A and B are shown apart, each in its own frame.
Chain A
Amino acid sequence: MPPGAASIDLRAARAICLLAAFAGAPAFPQSRPTPRFAPPNLSPAGVRALAANCAQCHGTEGHPAAGSTLAALAGRPRAELAARLAAFKAGTARATVMDQLAKGYSDEEIAALADYFASRGR
């Protein structure tokens, strides 16, 4: 196989996945192998980068805009944050979007995020 062939196949596969998703087909057909993700980076910089994904809705460093009805995360008790995220992940807490997003994080990542936001000033 020429050196470029694998990457061309990969691109074609990506394009097909993309089209399938945009067309509303299941994103993960049964035949697709489970991705092998890099192990979580739980260093201080890694957790900070992980936490930055919460900021679009919950504000930079967990401080939402003044008067926002979306939850402030900064300075909330660690146990409360961890329990809430775990319940979203388990599907036992009622939610619109957090149940779907929490399933994207490992238990270790959830614990690290709870530590991170609990240690921010309110």
Chain B
Amino acid sequence: MDTRRRRFLGMGAAGVLAAVPGFALAAPARPRGRVVVVGGGYGGATAAKYLRLLDPAIDVVLVEPNAAFVSCPLSNLVIGGFRGMDDITRPYGTLASAHGVRIVRDRASAIDAERRQVRLEHGEAIPFDRAIVAPGVDFLWDEMPALRDPAVRARAPIAWKAGPETAELRRRLEAMPDGGVLVIAVPETPFRCPPAPYERACQAAAYFRRAKPRAKILVVDANGDVAAEPALFKRAWAELYPGMVDYRPNSKAVDVDVATGTVKLELEDVKGDVLNVIPPMKAGSVADPFVTANGKWCEVDWLTYESRAAKGVHIVGDALFPGPVMPKSGHMANAQAKACAAAVAALLAGEAPNPAPTLTSTCYSFLSPELAVHVASVHKYDPAERTMKAVPGSGGVSPAMSAQEAAFGYEWARNIWADTLA
């Protein structure tokens, strides 16, 4: 090895970055330093975009393994056959071309808070001044052992991260005979998107009603009642799909046997032709070092989103231990990401973060392709308790399902995708 090459490798941060495809060695370090964002979902992609909007002097690197963004919101309509995967897929490229975010297509294997670098599965580590970690959720496999095996998941897709499993669950519903049974098993709260299991039952029912009218849907729920908008979902099942949805509360799934089509509950077994067992959840595994609440979730300072476990590491989205009545929603992750980006930009500029942040969430649930309901909330900071609390009197749910809310729901999706990615 000649001297010049050795000197190149010894250049520290700049040299490491040069080894990552897409990082030009010639690019000057931006004066405010570098933020590495881990994960390009609703939280991470929004944080990357808004950091660049807030301060173009910040070097923003987004680490994301997938080639494109696939939305969980609206993905139940793909499972029902009313939308295609293309309809819920959006490119990441605009974050680079319009906002100057540097995108590294790789999976973060570790976040080293001590050395301030993000390690990658394939490329070399990327140094950061601050990291924003948006890892989403992972599953507690010990509480649903059979699904740990990818071969079992191929036959009983979870489809709780929109992507290939969403399409696979759709294929299985199409292949199911008329008169067959779909079993949806709901985990104990908190889990990503509380209304989603019940919306999924509605979308499958809308498909069955047209294509397989003798099919049944068995919803076995670990919770004592429907975990979001219970009256609205039960009314939809009774009025839109009479006799099709069998809802059983206090029925916790503990394992699956795909060979016999069995979902094992605590007290009995149920059988189905298509199994959609959703395991209990925790923060995405790359955030494991920052888990501080009941072994599952990450606590943060709500003014900065800095981890309670590590300096310089900020966390947003479904991985958080939430404030009271704060949902794990894509809308909420987008809102948290903007508050986090503003705080990180302030800290990098040597300024104080916003002492009075506000967050909102509006989640639309589609009860058929044409009818929807919502749940909305507004959250503000309580300095004495150092948490975000819902503003009394604000927020709420729809009085009834409506076509107007479905139209708004589709428009919400288009606009939040643009706000997150474009």
Within 8 A of A (CB), among B332-371: 334-335, 338-339, 342, 346, 354-360, 362
Q: Contact check, B360 vs A10: say whether CB atoms are below 8 A apart.
A: no
Contact B391 A104 (CB under 8 A): yes
Q: How far is the CA of A36 from the CA of B334 in the complex (A)?
A: 25
CA distance A100 to B376 in the complex (A): 7
Assuming A18-B322, A23-B223, A35-B392, is B415 touching A65 (CB within 8 A)? yes
- The chain A residue sitting closest to B387, CB to CB, is A14
User: Given that A22-B189, A65-B418 are known contacts, is A52 also in contact with B50, CB under 8 Å in the complex?
Assistant: yes
**A109 and chain B: residue at smallest CB distance:** B358
Which residues of chain A have C-beta atoms less than 8 A from B293's C-beta? 11
Q: Is the interface of B mostly helix, strand, loop or mixed?
A: mixed
Say whether A2 faces chain B, with CB atoms less than 8 Å apart: no
Residues of chain B with a CB closer than 8 A to A45's CB:
342, 346, 354
Say yes or no: B374 contacts A96, CB within 8 Å.
yes
Binary flags per residue of B358-400, CB closer than 8 Å to A gives 1, else 0:
1110100000000000101110111111010111111110100
- CB pair B354–A49 under 8 Å, yes or no, is yes
Contact A18 B419 (CB under 8 A): no
Known: A10-B385, A49-B357. A65 touches B414 (CB 8 A): yes
- B382 contacts A101, C-beta separation under 8 Å: no
Whether A103 and B190, one on each chain, are in contact in the complex, defined by CB atoms closer than 8 angstroms, is no
Residues of B near A37 (CB, < 8 A) are 356, 380-382, 389, 391
Q: Is B416 engaged at the interface, CB distance under 8 Å to the other chain?
A: yes
Asked if B402 and A96 make an inter-chain contact with CB atoms under 8 angstroms apart, the answer reads yes
A64 within 8 A of B: yes
Q: A22-B194, A22-B223, A39-B356 are in contact. Are A60 and B381 (CB under 8 A)?
A: no
Given A37-B389, A38-B355, A64-B415, 6 extra CB contacts under 8 A: A27-B395, A53-B335, A59-B419, A60-B419, A64-B411, A101-B394
User: Which residues from chain B sit less than 8 Å from chain A, CB to CB?
Assistant: 50, 53, 189-190, 194, 223-231, 293, 322-326, 331, 334-335, 338-339, 342, 346, 354-360, 362, 374, 376-378, 380-385, 387, 389-396, 398, 402, 404-405, 407-408, 411-412, 414-419, 422
